[in-house]
A = this chain, B = another copy of it.
Amino acid sequence: MSHRVLVNGEPAAMISVFDRGLSYGDGLFETIRFVHGVAPLWSRHMDRLREGCRRLRLPQPDPEALLREAGEVTHGIVHAVVRITLTRGVGERGYAPPPSPTVTRVVAGFDAPLMSGEAYLSGVRVRWCDTRLSAQPLLAGLKHLNRLEQVLARAEWSDPAVAEGLMCDAGGWVMSGTMSNLFAVIDERLVTPALDRCGVAGVARAELLAARPQAVVSDLHPTDLARASEVFLSSSVRGVLPVQAVGDTVYVPGPVTRALQQHWRDLGFPMEQA
C-alpha cells in the first residue's frame, strides 16, 4: 500500500528507536491528498503544520523541501495521499525537549483510498463512539502524534458498512469523527463544532468554512444533530461525504451538502473514483 518514503530527504524506511516521535508522540503529522501531482489544499496543510510547530515549539518546517519531497514520493501516482510526519528528533531519555532539536522529517506516499461513487451520492453510515475526547486546550486543533483516543474509538467497531464514528467530549458535546470533521445544517444554518478544547481542526473543514463564511462554529449537542436537515463529514483525504444515518437517525443529502461537494470538485478533487 505504501510506495516511496523519504526520511530527512533520503530514501529510507526506518527511524531511530530513540526518536521522540516514538518515545512520546512528540511531533505532528499531515495527510495530504494529491491528484495528478497537485495538492489543492497544500497551503492550508502548511498553515496548520506551521501553527502546530509554533505551539509545540518545534523548529518551523521548510515548505519547499516538503513539497519537493511530496512530489518525489507521489511521482506516477494519479490519486495519492502523502503523510508528512515531523518529530522533535532523537533525544536522550526524559521528557525535557532538547534545546536545539534536529527535527525528523518523514514523507511517505500512499495510494489514495477509494470511496464508492455511491458513498458520495447517497451518503455513509456513521455510529456513536463511547470513547470521549479529553479536553486539552494546549493541543486542541493540532494534528499531533498523540492519537490513542482515536485508536480506541476506531477500535469500537469493525463492521465495514459503518464508515465513521462520532466522538463527544466528556461533557457530551459532539466534536468530530475519528478521522473527519462534522458539519450539520440546523434551522437552515451550517454548523460545525468548535475545536478549541479538543479535536483536530481539519484542513477540509477550514476550506469549507472559508467557502461558506456564513457557517457557524459552535457547540453542537447530539439533540441538535438529531434534528439536522443535512449532516456531512469533511476530510482532506475523502472530501465531502454525506451522512445517511447516525445510528438510527436517518438523513438525506441536501442542497448545502451538494453545493460543498461541487466546491470540492471545483478545487480539483474527484469524488467518484470507484
Interface on A for B, CB 8 Å cutoff? 1-2, 5, 7, 12-26, 29, 31, 56-57, 81, 83, 85, 87-88, 92-97, 99, 106, 108, 110, 131-132, 134-136, 138-139, 144-155, 158, 170, 178-179, 198
Contact = CB atoms under 8 A, between A and B. Distances in A.
Contact of A146 (B14, B18, B148): B148
Given A5-B17, A17-B5, A152-B138, A25 B145 contact: yes
A178 B106 contact: no
A24 B95 contact: no
| Count of chain copies | 2
**Most chain B CB neighbours (cut-off 10 Å) among A18, A136, A154:** A136
Contacts of A19: 22
Contact of A151 (B95, B99, B148): B95
Contacts of A83: 93
A147 B31 contact: no
Contacts of A88: 151
Given A14-B16, A97-B155, A108-B17, A56 B148 contact: yes
A211 B149 CA distance: 34
